[in-house]
Amino acid sequence: MRLTRGPIGPVRSIFAARTFAVPRTCGRSRTRGTALTRGGRLGATSRRSTEAPIPTDKALSWAYSEEYLPESDVVLRARDRAAQLGCTPVLPGAGAVLRVLAAAVQPRAVVEIGTGAGVSALYLLEGMPEDGVLTTIDVEAEHQRAAKLAFAEASIRPTRTRTISGRASDVLPRLTDGGYDMVLVDADKESAAYYVAQALRLLRRGGVLVVDNALWHDRVADPARRDEATTILREIGRSVREDDRLVPALLPSGDGLLVAVRR
Ligand SMILES: C[S@@+](CC[C@H](N)C(=O)[O-])C[C@H]1O[C@@H](n2cnc3c(N)ncnc32)[C@H](O)[C@@H]1O
């Protein structure tokens, strides 16, 4: 795996390459029924197929997807400031998904929980319509100062962003029920389940919930990992999947994006 651009660099050490064997999915002799086994190998549940598995490398494809779209200089500078401040922004693939979701939903009102240095906000704002307003919350005033600098560099009109400095648990209860088209959860993991519950209150029908780090450094998929953040994110994935009010999907972009539409 060869990766050249800066923002991906740190990711390489987190996401080690693994090889998957994927049975062919079309043609008459396709094996009926496959099951994902521990270690990521797609195993046949029937012995009828005589075809050799097609070797694939999901880590390579993931890295290719992350590099698929180049990032603007404004985003790269925001990443540098985020690194200096010690807050981790969404990875490029996750940013691209945020932008495409915003472009599809055309939200007039978005809530972001966890501004950081503004990387995810830049992606959201690029996809949102010109009259859409991003309300972004962060407990660290210094992070929001960096984000505002990024917004200015991107020539984003000040009326398009509402930055609220404070603990999300204090700010969210003050926001209007059903008043938002999209909510991104990307702050402290300890309170992430509470943020998701608040997001469901804030979203209108048809609105979109997004939770970043839903695969949390590949630990969520490994049942042996039971540290606090992993357990919280795994439990959020389970509760979103079982919530009849939601139409969910778990995307492997970035560090995992849990996306769900409010019915
Ligand atoms: C992962 S960073 C956000 C990155 C940002 N979404 C991006 O992609 O550019 C998490 C942010 O959550 C903020 N944060 C942590 N605890 C918080 C809390 N209780 N309330 C609000 N923000 C909090 C941190 O200050 C940090 O800026």
| HSE, side-chain direction, 13 A CA sphere, residue 150 | 30
Residue 262 has a CB neighbour count (10 Å cut-off) of: 21
Nearest Cα residue to atom 16 of ligand 1 = 188
Domain shared by 93 and 215, yes or no: yes
Instruction: Give the pairing of strands 133-138 and 109-113.
Output: parallel
Distance from the alpha carbon of residue 87 to the mean position of ligand 1, in angstroms? 7
Domain shared by 39 and 92, yes or no: no
Nearest Cα residue to atom 10 of ligand 1 = 187
d(CA 4, CA 12): 11
Domain shared by 223 and 107, yes or no: yes
71 within domain boundaries: no
Domain shared by 62 and 94, yes or no: no
119 within domain boundaries: yes
Domain shared by 46 and 106, yes or no: no
Domain shared by 124 and 40, yes or no: no
Q: Give the pLDDT score at 48.
A: 54
Q: Which of 139, 167, 233, 257 to mutate to test the pocket of ligand 1 (most atoms within 8 A of CB)?
A: 139
Domain shared by 183 and 240, yes or no: yes
38 within domain boundaries: yes
pTM, full prediction = 0.86
Domain shared by 100 and 195, yes or no: yes
Q: Give the pLDDT score at 55.
A: 79
Q: Give the pLDDT score at 49.
A: 57
Q: What residues make up the domain containing 102? A: 88-262
Distance from the alpha carbon of residue 144 to the mean position of ligand 1, in angstroms? 10
73 within domain boundaries: no
d(CA 29, CA 51): 8
d(CA 62, CA 73): 23
187 within domain boundaries: yes
Distance from the alpha carbon of residue 147 to the mean position of ligand 1, in angstroms? 11
User: Residues near ligand 1 with C-beta < 6 Å?
Assistant: 82, 87-90, 114-120, 137-140, 143, 167-168, 186-188, 191
Q: Give the pLDDT score at 7.
A: 36
153 within domain boundaries: yes
Which residues are registered as beta bridge partners of 182? 110, 208
Domain shared by 52 and 161, yes or no: no
Mean pLDDT per 10-residue section of the chain, whose length is 263 residues: 36 37 34 36 46 86 98 98 98 98 98 99 98 98 98 98 98 98 98 98 98 98 98 98 98 98 98
Distance from the alpha carbon of residue 198 to the mean position of ligand 1, in angstroms? 16
79 within domain boundaries: no
Distance from the alpha carbon of residue 238 to the mean position of ligand 1, in angstroms? 23
